[in-house]
Structure 1
């Protein structure tokens, strides 16, 4: 999911920079989290999603990070920032999938999400994971195991609703507020780290 790289200079939209090219916040976050993303993808890529045990393990890892992060986002005021948050939240879908395949949830302790940049940085990771989910869904739908195919609410969540493009538009609308790119990057990397911690648990 994530990655790490040298911070990319962020040209904040303001009167001072009016008319000049600006690095998109998506590009800044993508570059800064690339190594984290690659490491997590490599770890999760070792799980065989065609077996019930493997798919259960995959969901349990994601649930251990997703559920506390979504709770932290709510506590941090995500509903004031994202009007359609309830349409985006995936905890309910995740819990339903786990119940269907006999999985369990052991939520990790989430980082504090105290301001708007932290909300956006964390949302970048969660909303971006929909792209990977769509890719994995194509493989899971081909498995012979009917229980697995019936427990894909998390992977299927938001299909066809353009949630990722609309999040990116929201992200860029707040570019002018940023004074330090690390205010976005640090919470994004912390979110990736929580998924990595979940994947490292036995």
Structure 2
């Protein structure tokens, strides 16, 4: 079974929980969209930095083009919002963990492309719009499948950890505006 299949199967529950939570946000509503972006800002920059610090560029040479932190921070800045306190990133001590964390971030781009259609044109939307080279997701999936990871459990653990961060961040932001 490919690592992608293992990750999909063993994180499906986390993925569904995160999708359910973030599906409650009405991205056509300015306040809810700002809250959505702030939740992502608690996770994405920290995880991207952790991936970079752990050497993701060795596994994915086009990593710099895949980063979305600057797009996210620019969208938040357009609203004039302060940046929220980031959550601590996962420990990424193995190649398997890198692939697991990256699986979640790259997958969120696909979801983001669908969500971008809900964001009105007058609101900042660069974070959710597809970016990077054409075919980037296919390239990622091909590299993931060819990774030869010998510890899929570590990849699953890291992916579940990142999904958990998104869940916690979404809950924190929703509590803050309630």
TM-score under structure 2 length normalisation: 0.92
- Largest Rg, 1 or 2: 1
Contact 1:40–1:196 under 8 Å retained in 2: yes
Tell me which residue corresponds to 1:103. 81
Quick one: distance in 2 between partners of 1:157 and 1:104? Answer: 25
Structure 1 CA distance, aligned partners of 2:141 and 2:63? 14
> What do residues 50-76 of structure 1 show as CA deviations (whole Å, max 9, x unaligned)?
111111001000111111000100111
* Larger RCO (CA within 8 A; separation ≥ 6): 2
Greater per-residue helix proportion: 2
Partner-residue secondary structure (3-state), 1:154: coil
Q: What corresponds to 2:113 in structure 1?
A: 134
Q: CA deviation at 1:102?
A: 2.1
Equivalenced residue count is 172
Unmatched 5+ residue regions in structure 2? none
Question: Cα RMSD between the aligned structures?
Answer: 1.4
Deviations 1:108-163 (A, max 9, x none): 111111111111000000001111011111121xx3x61x1xx1111014167222
> Does the CA-based 8 Å contact 2:65-2:132 persist in structure 1?
no
Alignment-derived partner of residue 170 in structure 1: 143
Helix, strand or coil: the match of 1:152? coil
Q: Structure 1-normalised TM-score?
A: 0.81
What SS class does the counterpart of residue 47 from structure 1 fall into?
A: coil
